[in-house]
A and B are shown apart, each in its own frame.
Chain A
Amino acid sequence: MTEASMAEIADHGPGHASVVDRSGPALVEMQDISISFGGIHAVDGASIDLYPGEVVALLGHNGAGKSTLIKILSGAYKRDNGEIRVKGETATITNPRDAKAYGIETIYQTLALADNVDAAANLFLGREIMTAWGTLDDAAMEAEARKVMGRLNPNFRRFKEPVKALSGGQRQSVAIARAILFNARILIMDEPTAALGPQETAQVGELIKQLKADGIGIFLISHDIHDVFDLADRVVVMKNGQVVGSAMTSDVTKDEVLGMIIIGKVPPGATPGPGASRD
């Protein structure tokens, strides 16, 4: 990361914590969540929460359980134990449709687009606009798609091509557009900048600020500690399926967070979790 971009981030950096609204109940709370695959505890008694306008980053090694935990929230996996509460009320989430009904939208690392259909069809997949005759209203969907894409990525023109013909950044904007199109309250972003160049990464950063201002809560899964300190209000570190600890990004340094990720050592500025190293 260059000096200039660091400075730019400092301008609108972690100061954005003011948007977070902790007055009411948490947008979402996941409590004591466990899931195992064939005897391996992928997630073991993990608890996390998220407030309106907050960005919570989930950090950890490959296989630490962060993606699995988040897939439970998005309905892709069914948990073995634990409870999910949305706005203080117990939520039943057993498949992706349930999650969407609670306003939980996910942008997957793999983007999860149907490659062979166009952008509009992807944006509305599962929630198509229908005509009075009960048929697909492709024209109306394309019009909506042009509207939302115009906001996210004004240069986007390729509405009639299958999304496999698009660039990484364009595909990313389609995925993000799909998530925000339906008034998401809780947004899950799994490595949103992994496939992007610096300019597109900056675009995603801008977008996240915009979504925060709208009171949307965001779970951000990332490997990139710089990204996390730029974008998140709070970090939660996972290791071996357990939460090592959590901290406001303003209270800890990058080195301290790396220490949590690598050896599970919780610094003074953070709240330890069940996965914290005992010594």
Chain B
Amino acid sequence: MTEMTSEAPVRTKTVKGESGFKRALRATEIDTRMLGMIGALLVIWIGFHVLSNGNFLTPRNLWNLSVQTASVGVMATGMVLVIVTRNIDLSVGSILGVTGMVMAVAQTQYLTPMLGFNNPAVWILTLIVGLVCGLLIGGLQGFIIAYLGVPAFIVTLGGLLIWRGAAWWVASGKTIPLTDDNFKLLGGGSDGSIGETWSWIFAAVALVVVLFGAWNARRQRQRFQFPVKPVWAEVTTLVVSAVAIIGATMVVNAYMLPGPLARRYAQANGITIPEGGLDIAFGWAVPVLLFIGVGIAMTFVARRTRFGRYVFAIGGNPEAAELAGVNTRRVTMMVFMLMGMLAAVGAAISTARLSSATNAQGTLDELYTIAAAVIGGTSLAGGAGTIAGAMLGALVMQSLQSGMVLLGLDTPLQNIVVGAVLVVAVWLDTVYRRRAA
């Protein structure tokens, strides 16, 4: 993003033609494509809301939407780095399938019998088994791609079949129900949500983090006497973020436990049910918090670490990165290892959500993941993409799907729409890039 305040003299030529609005937008340092995506999301939401006679923008549907987005969204954050390095990973859906299966088998056949029912160590160990499994699979694929020079498209296309086969082979095609209740919290549901009070605490922490981040960025720039954002722009972005955080928290807190569940909750916690029923809010779902956490961690990795810098440099010019002394092969392999681990996180969420692992789990997820990243502005030519964009992209994809289910559209028609949207989104992206260049 350019600095308008200090570099006005050299930029006068380009600035002259800009409208006041564009100039203001530039000062806030907000990505215009990000704004475009938020606009598209609002259009989709409002469109479905109208078409479904007011059933889309309800706390219940939005809460469900957030939970459904989590699994693919987590994987999309990793897919950004894969695509930025000019690679592709077609195997993430299958890796999700096999790691989900491995976790379920490890939990039901080894961990729970060894440690006891609902032992707090079980869910952690299950997750670690899954993460290690994903890491090894990603590492193997990454090794073949980076060191043996087989194109990522082929390696992961093979992986698509291999790991799907492996998922069947782990339990001979059986569906494995999970045994550990703590692990199931990762999937959301009434137990897997943090409730009203904690949701507000989460919102407060988020606000503090956003404020601190803005203050820290400003201080860093002042330390070296670089130009800083104008104060009004800083305030505007902060206000928008705050409204988004508080608004989303109000929505998830407005979704109440349905009657029978509320009564069960009251019984379990020894609360007497008052006259006129009991209102207990769901609040933020655990998988959504996990999704947000992964998003923040991945943004940090992409923007603030040496590894992230190399990922983008390799995407921009692999030869230049190699000549500058970057170990491009190692970085490529690490990207795939990270992707494998994120597929395992996605597997934990979706397995926990279904309370069981099936060998078909995650089928076609690779396409939704890639679509989310690409719709979110990741360039297939490499070198460009943001984690936040991919997260929004995942939300856009899931909104389309949920909306069509809500309207009662047939599955084949849903697929046609999703496919068409992907193609149109990439076309718009090419148009945007050509103009920006």
User: What residues of chain A have their CB less than 8 Å away from a CB belonging to chain B?
Assistant: 74, 76, 95-97, 100, 106, 108, 110-117, 121, 125-128, 130, 134-136, 138-140, 142-143, 157-158, 160-162, 178
Contact = CB atoms under 8 A, between A and B. Distances in A.
Contact of B305 (A116, A135, A161): A135
Contacts of A157: 7, 10
A97 B315 CA distance: 20
Q: Specify which of A113, A126, A134, A135 lies most central, judged by the most chain B CB atoms within 10 Å of its CB.
A: A126
Contacts of A160: 1-3
B317 interface: yes
A42 to B, nearest CB: 18
B316 A142 contact: no
B188 interface: no
Contacts of A143: 224, 226
Contact residue range for chain B?
20 to 34
A271 to B, nearest CB: 32
Contacts of A158: 7, 10
Given A96-B322, A126-B326, A128-B306, A142 B312 contact: no
Q: Which secondary structure dominates where chain B touches chain A?
A: helix
Interface string B3-14: 100010010000
B6 to A, nearest CB: 8
Given A143-B224, A161-B2, A117 B316 contact: yes
A136 B304 contact: yes
A118 B109 CA distance: 53
Given A139-B224, A140-B224, A126 B316 contact: no
B319 A139 contact: no
B285 interface: no
A54 to B, nearest CB: 24
**Among B221, B223, B323, B326: residue with most chain A CB under 10 A:** B323
B386 to A, nearest CB: 12
B321 interface: yes
A225 B223 CA distance: 48
A103 B354 CA distance: 58
B316 A114 contact: yes
B299 to A, nearest CB: 12
B211 to A, nearest CB: 19
A71 to B, nearest CB: 9
Interface of B: 1-3, 7, 10, 220-221, 223-224, 226, 300, 303-306, 308-309, 312-317, 319-327, 383-384
A161 B305 CA distance: 20
A65 to B, nearest CB: 19
Contact of B313 (A114, A139, A161): A114
A125 B313 contact: yes
Contact of B324 (A116, A126, A139, A161): A126
A117 B304 contact: no
Contact of B317 (A97, A115, A127, A130): A115
B321 to A, nearest CB: 6
A136 to B, nearest CB: 5
Given A115-B383, A116-B312, A116-B384, A139 B323 contact: no
A130 B349 CA distance: 35
Nearest to B321: A114
A158 B309 CA distance: 19
A142 B324 contact: no
B320 A113 contact: yes
